Chain A
Amino acid sequence: MRTNKTLNRFSLSKELPLLPGYILVTIWVVFTLIMVGWVCLASLSTTKSIFSGNILGDGIHFESYKHAFLDNNLGAYTLNSIIYTSVSITGMLLIAAPASYMLARFKFRGNKFIQGMFVVAMGIPSIMVILPLFSLAAQLGVLNSRITLIIVYIFTGIPFTLFFLHTFFSNLSRSFEESAAIDGCGPIKTFWVIMLPLASPGIITVTIFNFIGIWNEFFMALIFANHSSLRPLAVGVYATMKSFLYAGDWPGMFTGVVVIFIPTLILYILLSKKIIAGVTGGAVKG
């Protein structure tokens, strides 16, 4: 921040010491962009052109997309991903936002303890919870169903969502609630009508994070929805990867990769400022 103002005019004596930094960061950035860009091109290419090193040598081909969506279930996987993601991020908000509000705004015995509980939960690895959840789902006869995976997603997303929103609720002014109370608005209505909209910057950011997290999630989906009609994109593409490799269909494989990352990439391009600001919102102490 401190150098922003001096930046506007180019001066060699100021820029020259920064040169090694520029070079290093530029190499890194170009490498990343080539990696992502090449995969996009490869999905529009043919196996022959990919191996000849002259990508798009045979022109642009959309066959692999057609093939992936029509013959390889990619459309169904995409739809599943959309269902899992949209329902889960909504569910997380519905449960975590009121709880977060309560913990941030009200004094009661055990408040600090409950907050501590949710902090600890963020450090509990999935390997410690997955086995009993799986056998519980099996006993209830709800293995391989969309609802089970969605519930697992919602519940495991609550600690993070709750914590992220906590800061936003704590920073709101008391006067909103006081004037609402004077006007005869009950606390529950006050929350939904007044406080929740006021915290919307936080809600939008945490929802973006939850979206990216669930869209990219792999392990839980592999265990709870490992059936061809239930798979989300990440697991679906993983499951078809073998057949792509076996058939030597490289464009098909890269098409799968592109379809997985395009939605999060577009979201990132549009909202990178908000996302980057949110990354360090909760993680940094001191």
Chain B
Amino acid sequence: MKSSKLMFVVFLGPALLSYLIIYVYPVLRTALMSFFYVQNITDNSSEWKFVKLDNYINLLTDNQLFMQSLKNIGYIYFWGLLGVMFFALLFAVILNSGVRFKEFFRSVLYLPNIVAAVAMGTMWVQYVFNSQYGLLRSIFNFFGLTGLAEFAWTDDTHLLLSMTIAYSFGCIGYFMLIYMAAMDKVPSDYYEAATIEGAGIFNKFFRITLPLIRNVFRTTLVLWSTGCIGFFAWSLMFSNINWNIRTVTPMVYMYNIVFQDAIGMDPSQKNAGAGAAVGMILTILAVAVFTIINFVVKEDDVEY
């Protein structure tokens, strides 16, 4: 259908305008700002001091806190992804295998996704991982595993592990739904034929399901990466409300050097330009990850 100019402006204009204001302008300005020293985020651009690549160099060479935040998010990215993919695939296979109450199970597994991170985080830190009345402690004690019951989940040394478990726990239901939808598209006669040929459940999974849903793993990686870049609220919930070097993530680091003078943070480190550089580094890392994925996992049309 052809469209009139007026209709174009009325229907598409506001959306395009919003795009310019909320994406084009800020992204360009963030990129520009990352090359400047900007003491206060509200400073006029005339007060910015051009420092070439200094923000990047400082962040990546002698900034322990930022490097730790990258290590932390790398840990969450890698181990969390492994755990989430394993359990999400497992549950997707189980729920698609013909169990009863499939819809009920599916709803409860997805449930954590509709709860705010602040609420979920508090539940985990203050209840599940609690060392006195916690759920995990009760469960392990019930089964007589007193050694495990005494495990100090919220100790400084275990905080990152605990946070990764808690965060990933919630994501499993989401990725499970995505895998289930992909599995539903695989024609059932493939499985019937395999069953006739005597293939077991593992053979069917590794030889039919997995190869046929491989394109969905790219979606997984994109969604997982986006989630990790924005990793913020969970980190605050797991660090006793303040930031903590054990759980600091790039977003939290950025928040601290741009928006507040956190306790223990050297005020001279306040630099919105470095905050912008943090964003750029994360974006570059994400783009690099996508490029590698595209290179390794070729997108080919799976035809049924």
Contact = CB atoms under 8 A, between A and B. Distances in A.
Interface in A136-159: 136, 138-139, 152, 154-156, 158
Interface centre among A7, A42, A94, A257 (most CB of B within 10 A): A257
Contacts of A233: 116
A89 interface: no
A212 B111 CA distance: 12
A237 B118 contact: yes
B259 interface: yes
A247 interface: no
A131 B237 CA distance: 23
A51 B132 contact: yes
Interface in A96-111: 96, 98-99, 101-103, 105-108
Interface stretch (B53-61, B147-155, B174-182, B202-210): B174-182
A128 B259 contact: no
B23 to A, nearest CB: 5
Interface in A118-172: 118, 121, 123-136, 138-139, 152, 154-156, 158, 162
Nearest to B139: A31
Given A128-B27, A272-B107, A3 B98 contact: yes
A32 B111 contact: yes
Interface residues of B, number: 101
B109 interface: yes
B119 interface: yes
Contact of B42 (A102, A135, A177): A135
Contacts of A18: 94, 97-99
Contacts of A136: 25-26
B224 interface: no
A192 to B, nearest CB: 11
Contacts of B222: 123
B12 A254 contact: no
Nearest to A14: B98
B159 interface: no
A2 to B, nearest CB: 4
Contacts of B223: 283
A152 B106 CA distance: 33
A131 B275 contact: yes
Interface stretch (A60-68, A197-205, A258-266): A258-266
B140 interface: no
Contacts of A238: 118, 233, 236-237, 241
B110 A36 contact: no
Interface string B92-130: 011101111001111111111011111100110011100
B117 A32 contact: no
A108 B33 CA distance: 36
Q: Which of B8, B30, B111, B222 has most chain A Cβ within 10 Å? A: B111
Nearest to B192: A2
20 contacts: A21-B93, A21-B97, A25-B99, A28-B108, A42-B127, A53-B133, A121-B19, A128-B279, A129-B26, A138-B41, A158-B18, A177-B1, A187-B4, A215-B116, A218-B233, A257-B118, A257-B119, A275-B110, A284-B185, A284-B216
List the 6 closest pairs (A to B, CB-CB), nearest first. Answer: A99-B15, A3-B98, A280-B181, A216-B116, A21-B94, A129-B26
Interface of A: 1-3, 6-7, 14, 17-18, 21-22, 24-25, 28-29, 31-36, 38-39, 42, 50-53, 94-96, 98-99, 101-103, 105-108, 114, 117-118, 121, 123-136, 138-139, 152, 154-156, 158, 162, 174, 177, 187-188, 191, 212, 215-216, 218-219, 223, 233-235, 237-238, 241-242, 245, 250, 253-254, 256-257, 260-261, 264-265, 267-268, 272-273, 275-276, 279-280, 283-286
Given A24-B90, A31-B135, A285-B219, 19 more contacts: A6-B98, A14-B98, A28-B91, A39-B127, A96-B15, A98-B12, A106-B3, A123-B286, A129-B23, A131-B276, A132-B26, A135-B43, A187-B4, A234-B118, A234-B119, A254-B122, A265-B114, A272-B107, A273-B103
